[in-house]
Amino acid sequence: MSYKAEYIWIDGTEPTALLRSKTKIVADGEQPPVWGFDGSSTNQAEGHSSDRVLRPVFVCPDPIRGGDNRLVLCEVEEIDGNPHPSNTRALAREVAERYAEQESWFGIEQEYTFFKGSRPLGFPEGGFPAPQGPYYCGVGADVIFGREIVELHMDRCLAAGLKLSGINAEVMPGQWEFQIGPATTLEVADHLWVARWLLYRTAEEFGVEATLDAKPARGDWNGAGAHTNFSTKAMRENYDAIIVACESLGENDKPLEHVTQYGAGIESRLTGHHETAPWNKYSYGVSNRGASVRIPWQVEVDRKGYIEDRRPNANVDPYVVTRLLVDTCCAALEK
């Protein structure tokens, strides 16, 4: 007997990588082996020597095929065993190991937008819906679009064992959010990539596209972000560490270093309007949804907890944002 292993990897498309996957039949009792693919078709190789390697790094039950079938998230390597340049997980792995004793946790809020054809789901043919207001966490067919997809996606994430912690409807019609976390550095990012794959795959069954575009509709509509909630053991125990982390993110060239790697089209979303801080001006504050980094109200009350980096775009690479936050904040906290 055998099972189906769906090998999932992140390609080399710029500025925003795409997910790819293909199926391997594996004998029962065997782990999914190292496999390969044609990198010339995924922006990961030139034509003449295009073999690239898929190394399984996170395996979970396949909630779509069911049974013993599995999803297999992979890192991409060159045939000599080195990480491929598109392999951002390899860098995150190094940084996570360097600061392992600080015990970083993350919760990432993944916002996204359903599209039917060229329009957000729920936008009327040839016109615009009523302005923002009733859609966020709304109920009813006049304000909610795509809930059957969202519910199925949530069930599948849970059946796969992903650390999904909630969902909500967002401020624009057809716009939604799910959260992954709290989880450790590689875990939150691995689970988020698999949850994204399940989202695209689930929406596909409804003839709907799910996009992580940071500004999916022009005009007076919120963009789509990936607020990244972060803590270390010290931050979960005392408020001084919370302030050290917030200050470290504002030092020298840190704001620009982060923001330029927080996803394609960051200036189109971080305008200073629509609950964002301007991309070129770092700020932090308690309970302030117009700051770059928010200290939740409860965290100030408890004098411990976590911070929320509100800058990352929906299309951010979670291996990149988690690596940057650990690198910047843990280095400062170590002092």
Q: Which does 193 bind (CB under 5 to 8 A by kind): Mn ion, ligand ADP, none?
A: none
DSSP structural state of residue 39 = G
What is the identity of the amino acid at 215? K
Other beta carbons less than 10 A from residue 197's beta carbon: 20
Alpha-carbon gap, residue 72 to 331, rounded angstroms: 33
Report the partner that residue 69 touches, choosing among ligand ADP, Mn ion, none (CB closer than 5 to 8 A by kind): none
By CB under 6 A, tell whether 318 contacts ligand ADP. no
Residue 222 interface partner, choices ligand ADP, Mn ion, none, CB cut-off 5-8 Å depending on type = none
* Binding residues among 80-109 for ligand ADP as defined by CB under 6 A: 105-107, 109
**With respect to Mn ion, which residue has the nearer C-beta, 11 or 177?**
177
Smallest gap from Cβ 4 to ligand ADP, in A, equals 31
**Phi, psi for residue 223 in degrees, rounded to 5:** -80, -175
Instruction: Point out which span in 47-55, 61-69, 177-185, 211-219 binds ligand ADP (CB under 6 A).
Output: 177-185
Residue with smaller CB distance to ligand ADP, 44 or 179: 179
Give the CB-nearest residue to ligand ADP. 107
Q: Select the binding partner of residue 274 from Mn ion, ligand ADP, none (C-beta < 5 to 8 A, by kind).
A: none
| Rounded Cα distance, 298 and 309, in Å | 16
Binding region for ligand ADP (CB under 6 A) out of 20-28, 34-42, 192-200, 228-236: 228-236
Q: Which is nearer to ligand ADP, 87 or 229 (CB)?
A: 229
Report the distance separating Cα 223 and Cα 213, nearest Å.
8
**Shortest Å distance, C-beta 41 to ligand ADP:** 35
CA distances from 250 to 218, 230, 285, 325 (A): 30, 16, 12, 12
Tokens matching residue 98: 């360097």
Residues in the chain: 335
Among the listed residues 40, 50, 165, 288, the single contact to ligand ADP using CB under 6 A: 165
284 binds ligand ADP (CB under 6 A): no
- The phi and psi torsions of 229 (rounded to 5 degrees) equal -90, 135
Instruction: Kindly provide the b/e burial profile for residues 166-181, where b requires at least 16 CB atoms within 10 angstroms of the residue's own CB.
Output: ebebbbbbbbbbbbbb
CB-neighbour burial class of residue 97 (10 A; exposed 0-12, middle 13-18, buried 19+)? exposed
Residue 256 CB, nearest approach to ligand ADP (Å): 24
Q: Which residues bind Mn ion (CB under 5 A)?
A: 109, 177, 227
Q: Which residues make up the interface to ligand ADP (CB under 6 A)?
A: 105-107, 109, 165, 179, 181-182, 227, 229-231, 236, 305-306, 308
